[in-house]
Amino acid sequence: MIDIKLLYASVVCFLFATGFLNFAVMLYVRFFKLQEIEAYFQDCFLIASGQRTAGHGFYGRNVRLGNVRALLRDNSSIRPQLDAQARDDVRRFPKRLRLLIELPPRVNAGVLLGLIAVWSWGNYEGFY
């Protein structure tokens, strides 16, 4: 029984550490890489208007990063409305920055599913 509780505790610690590190990466991208990311979309009206209206606070940076994420998404409803120059900007966008934008929400989803699974496992084993 001790081995199962130790495994349970280590899985919970791993999931929380992964979530914390993912949150740190999201803050890093939001506060230190957003200017570099937006520099690739000089011709895009959505990014330019987001810079003017959303501001530079936490919420504004979150909105602006969401706009970039929507542009880079393949099945986005915004994508058909783009002009040709913005489509070229999306095509030329570097892979290393694309990973910094697209990966954290997927990791958050994985951590959330993992926490739900661990919580269910804890209820099944009677740890609560």
State the pLDDT at residue 77. 64
Q: Is the pTM of this model over 0.95?
A: no
**Using one digit for the tens of pLDDT, what is the confidence trace for 85-97?**
677 788 889 999 9
Instruction: Give the pLDDT confidence of 1-14 residue by residue, as tens digits.
Output: 578 888 889 999 99
Domain chopping of the chain, boundaries: 2-125
User: How many angstroms separate the CA atoms of 127 and 39, rounded?
Assistant: 51
Residue 81: per-residue pLDDT: 65
* Phi, psi at 80, each rounded to 5°: -65, -20
Distance CA 101, CA 30 (A): 9
Q: Kindly report, residue by residue over 33-77, the tens digit of the pLDDT.
A: 999 999 988 878 778 887 888 888 888 999 889 888 888 886 656
How far, in Å, CA of 10 to CA of 102, rounded?
Answer: 27
